[in-house]
Amino acid sequence: MIPHTDAYTRFSELGIELYDHAVLVCFALPCLRDAIAPLSGQVARKIPAPLHFKNPGMTAEELSKRLAKSSDILGKELLLSTFSYFEAYVVDLIAEIIIFHSGRTHLARLCKADIATTDAAITPATKQSKRKLQEYPRKNLFAKYQKHSRILRSAQFPFPSRRLAAYGWQHLCETALRLNAARIPEVLRDALLMPLSDKVVSTYHALRDKRNQIAHGRLAKYPVAIAIKHGSWLRNLAISIDSYVVENYLIIELPADAI
């Protein structure tokens, strides 16, 4: 059995790399604070040169000011990166589903072959039950509709919703090319039929709004502790999504006319 998608592996590796670096920074900042404390008021040359940047005029006082802001900056960078990784994960996940099933053309063939095979197997008795449902619905005949619907389902009759599956796959393939963060819950719920609660969707959009506020410079305070909490929530959501997709979509499906 497939344990998880390749998309999740990449998401997980990027997250580990990001948080490993955050831990490194959190170790380094106290060391820097202790190192510059005795240098306050001293000449600039006493401050060690930074890697990758040229800043010969740096003072202990200026570094102290920047250290005071470092927690919120690190927190914002953690959410910006984690949310971007999550967004990319979902896009890659949908692409992986499509690739697993050999692409858009093969998916259309699966759906069409399924309908053609089941249509060819419809018996006169099944057709008779179908006729009982080919009328505009009336409330007083609900029991009749139930009876013949059960007969049709037991005969694997392809109802209209099943006939539209080919278009659903086609639409998903097109959506995957231009999917953005705002539409992720919609695609998970309506296309993949994942049972996401309203609370989960609301929390997701709240984090998306936080991400947007940070990106547009509208959120000044965002502590590391909050970023870690929100990052953990996104990771758990990704785990849940991945488990659902592996269980329901990474299944080898042969065309009905090839069995």
Q: What is the pLDDT of residue 187?
A: 96
The pLDDT of residue 38 is 80
Tell me the average pLDDT across 214-236.
95
Residues 6+ apart with CB under 8 A from 182: 205, 208
Q: What is the pLDDT of residue 45?
A: 54
* Stretch 122-151: mean pLDDT: 95
Whole-angstrom distance, CA of residue 204 vs CA of residue 29 = 31
pLDDT at 23 over 90: yes
**Closest listed residue to residue 179, CA positions, set 93, 77, 79, 250:** 93
Q: Could you tell me if 219 and 213 are in contact, meaning their C-beta atoms sit under 8 angstroms apart?
A: yes
In this structure, what are the phi and psi dihedrals at residue 233, rounded to the nearest 5 degrees?
-65, -45
Helices 198-215, 60-100: inter-axial angle, 10-degree rounding: 130
Check residue 50 and give its pLDDT. 81
Q: Is 164 helix (H, G, I), strand (E, B) or coil?
A: coil
Q: Tell me, what's the pLDDT at 182?
A: 96
Dihedral angle, C-alpha 10, 11, 15, 18, nearest 10 °: 60
Residue 44's pLDDT band, with cuts at 50, 70 and 90, is: low
**Burial class of residue 57 (count of CB atoms within 10 Å of its CB; 0-12, 13-18, 19+):** exposed
Pull the structure tokens for residue 220: 């000044």
pLDDT value for 28: 92
Average pLDDT estimate for 208-221:
95
Q: What is the pLDDT of residue 89?
A: 98
- Each residue of 158-199: pLDDT tens digit? 999 999 998 999 989 998 889 999 999 999 999 999 999 999
Task: Give the CA angle between residues 15, 6, 75 to the nearest 5°.
Answer: 15
* φ, ψ dihedrals at 82, nearest 5°: -60, -45
CA distance 41 to 37: 10
